[in-house]
Amino acid sequence: MTRKRRKRRRGMKRLGNLAAVFLLLVLLLLLLPASRQMEGLVSGKTGLDSAAPGEVLQIDVKSPNAVLLRREDGRILFQKGGGEKIYPASLTKIMTVLTAIEQLPDLDEEILLPAELFDPLYAQGASMAGFQPGEQVKARDLLYGAMLPSGAECCVGVAEKIAGSEEEFAALMNKKAEKLGMKHTHFTNTTGLPDENHYSTAEDIACLLDNALKNNTFREIFTSSRYSTGGTNLHPEGITFYSTLSQSLEDPTFPGGVIEGGKTGYTQEAGLCLASLAEKDGREYIFVSAKGEGNHQTEPVHVEDALYAYKAIPASGEGTD
């Protein structure tokens, strides 16, 4: 009987040890994602992953902050100050348009642009699409007006329609940013006008654009170089918009590819900014840059950087040294 009891005790002890090891493994698995998340917070990185060492590109762009992303797997092929704080200027409107698309049940609904909306925008020198006080415009046309000519009145108009105020709409933008994992971004307005509490990173903007392009309506707007609105009460013949990128880009093609669309931005604080989409050899890429030197009257270094980065991507089947 004594031997049987000893065997039982040994068996129970072994089971106890196995259970302890199992619990330890479970705890390690649970803690690992949290530790990785903390690592991302400390390093200033988003959930985007770097490419394998052999795929990382060694290129020299002029902009202090830049990221090149391969869309098919979300890998960063190149980054320069990608996790550093930037002021996104009109790249903000990418989030404005995406949030509006998701919030508006009917894009053909007409929205009134009240007179009091315009004066603060005029006072700050905001870029405008060309609509007038008291104009009634379809929501869809306002979204094109926000993206292509970078119209601030379009952004504030849809924001007030959806949320009652620009501030409340900015709160919706921040919720969307949090959902997308944009840990180093905060919005205070819909236009990107200067505010020290309105900031992002090149990596966060790349993450935003990558996700926004999954929305077909957003993609259609973002990749348009020209758009004509329907008639309104103040513009019976409508208004024709042209993309600010297309005005700075004489030829969107480059060897093996084409720049499909983009959003430019500029304030004195933000410098020249650009978030663009390109296709090369059947693959899509996103390039984001910020703090480029110059202004609207100088050489478009942000556009030059994008072309340089896209050209540096090896053709299909080729590797990097």
Could you give the residue numbers annotated as active site? 90, 93, 150
Q: Which two tokens stand for residue 118?
A: 């315009």
80 neighbors 308 (Cβ within 8 angstroms): no
Residue 184 to residue 204: CA distance in whole angstroms: 7
How far apart CA 222 and CA 299 sit, in angstroms, is: 23
**Is the separation of the CB atoms in 95 and 158 below 8 Å?**
no
- Distance in angstroms (rounded) separating the CA atoms of residues 270 and 208: 18
* Residue 302: both structure tokens together: 């942000």
Residue 285: exposure state from Cβ atoms within 10 A (0-12, 13-18, ≥19): buried
Tell me the pairing of strands 65-70 and 75-80. Answer: antiparallel
Please give the Cα distance from 180 to 203 (Å, whole number): 12
Give the residue ranges of DSSP H helices in 58-188. Answer: 92-103, 118-123, 139-147, 152-163, 166-179
Classify residue 18 as exposed, middle or buried by CB count within 10 Å of its CB (0-12, 13-18, 19+): exposed
Classified as helix, coil or strand, 56 is coil
List strand residue ranges (DSSP E) for the chain, in order. Answer: 49-50, 65-70, 75-80, 110-113, 135-138, 226-228, 240-242, 253-254, 257-267, 271-280, 283-292
